[in-house]
Structure formats: structure tokens, C-alpha cells
Amino acid sequence: MLRIAIQAKGRLNEKTMALLADAGISASVGSRSLIAHAKGFPVDLLLLRDDDIPQAVAMGTADLGIVGLNEVEEKGVDVHRIIPLGFGGCRLSLAVPREADYKGLEWFNGCRIATSYPAILSRFLKEKEISAEIHTITG
């Protein structure tokens, strides 16, 4: 039985389900399901939060995962990227107040920055030699 971890709901779920359908794999997914069994294939879909998918693959709970590279980078787990699927892209954006006299990244020196991706942001700031206080937020 092949176990594929996918996002339970959200933007990646819709694209992933369409991709699987194009491959002939379909499964009935209830709104509160954790596992969906594919029809006609030895495949189980593990329906997880996107930030849990890299760890599920790294630990062997899932054989494969479909998730954004940002989640893999943030978790820092050792998984093999097989192929980019062409959806789910993202970028790191830093916001400043409209009235700020922003002249470049140096503006963030000494600032507090809230993010859902503290590891990625920390690496970025270190690479750019910017010293800022990072606060982790979720949701």
C-alpha cells in the first residue's frame, strides 16, 4: 500500500486532488477524514496539515508527500524532492508601514518581525547581514 500525504484542505488540496484524478486516482474524502482509500489502486491518502507533511514523509509515516517547498525548507527535514509539480509556489515578503522611509533591507535592522516561517526568515536575514528580532506566529 502506497501512502501519500496531502494537504487536508486549502489551495494545495484542490490542485493535488486534480493531479491525482488526472493520474486516474480518486478517493472519497470526508470533511473530517484523516485517511482516504483510493478506488482501484493500492493507495491511501493521508490528509494532514501542510506543515506536518514533511515530517510525515521523513519519519516514514507517508511514502510520498505533496507540499510546498517552503514547508520542507522550514522544517529542515531530510526528504528527497522528486519533481516540481508546477503549483503551490510562494515567496518571502517583508512589509513596512506606508509612511516608512524604506530605502532597502537595512531598514529592518533592530526591528521586530512576525512570521510563520522563522527558520526561513532567520536564514534570509543572516545571509543579508540584517539583525532583527523574529517572532513566530501561526494561523
pLDDT digits (tens, 9 = 90+) for 80-102: 999 999 988 888 899 999 999 99
| Domain end position, chosen among 22, 46, 75 | 75
Could you tell me if 71 and 8 lie in one domain? Answer: yes
pLDDT value of position 139: 67
pLDDT digits (tens, 9 = 90+) for 54-65: 999 999 999 999
pTM recorded for the entire structure = 0.85
User: Which CATH number fits the domain that encloses residue 39?
Assistant: 3.40.190.10
Tell me if 60 sits within 8 A of 42, measured CB to CB. no
The whole domain housing 108 covers 91-139
Could you tell me if 20 and 67 lie in one domain? Answer: yes
- Compute the distance between CA of residue 73 and CA of residue 126 in angstroms, rounded to an integer: 16
Q: Number of structural domains, the chain? A: 2
Find, among 123, 91, 94, the residue nearest to 106 by Cα: 94
Could you tell me if 46 and 17 lie in one domain? Answer: yes
pLDDT digits (tens, 9 = 90+) for 105-123: 999 999 999 999 999 999 9
The reply to whether 48 falls in a domain is: yes
- Compute the distance between CA of residue 47 and CA of residue 95 in angstroms, rounded to an integer: 32
The reply to whether 44 falls in a domain is: yes
pLDDT value of position 3: 97
pLDDT digits (tens, 9 = 90+) for 14-50: 999 999 999 999 888 877 789 999 998 899 999 999 9
Find, among 60, 25, 59, the residue nearest to 45 by Cα: 25
